[in-house]
Amino acid sequence: MRHFYRSHRTPAEVLAVADRHFASIGFSPATTTTRARSFTSPLGALRLVVKPEGGHYTFIEATTDQMGESRMDRNVKRFFVELHRADDPSHALDASY
């Protein structure tokens, strides 16, 4: 599955958060470049690519080797929530119903 997110963080900051986040939940780094990371775990493989986008945004693309919504995909979404909290610490996440 592919997931996308736009952040106000720089690409280097996003990758630093990704390294901490995915290592803390048992993912092992497979490859590391200046704009991309690959992680592996018993759940499967994850590829994370970050690139500066027009203005002050960083575009983040996460691709997993899983079909449908798996535990790995939920971990990617938790990573995006962590980035969102870093962008706007005062924002309170709540249900929209």
What are 49-62's pLDDT values in tens digits?
999 998 889 999 99
Does 93 map to a domain?
no
Does 6 map to a domain?
yes
d(CA 9, CA 17): 10
Does 50 map to a domain?
yes
Does 97 map to a domain?
no
Does 31 map to a domain?
yes
Does 95 map to a domain?
no
Q: Model's pTM, two decimal places?
A: 0.85
List the CATH number of the domain containing 11. Answer: 3.30.310.80
Does 91 map to a domain?
no
What are 14-51's pLDDT values in tens digits?
999 999 999 999 999 999 899 999 999 998 999 999 99
Q: How many domains does the chain have?
A: 1
d(CA 62, CA 3): 5
The answer on pLDDT for 8 being more than 80 is: yes
What are 65-74's pLDDT values in tens digits?
988 778 889 9
Beta-carbon contacts of residue 72 (< 8 Å; ≥ 6 apart): 41, 43, 44, 46, 64, 66
Question: 3-class DSSP state for residue 35?
Answer: coil
Q: Tell me what pLDDT residue 76 has.
A: 94
Domain that holds residue 40: 2-86
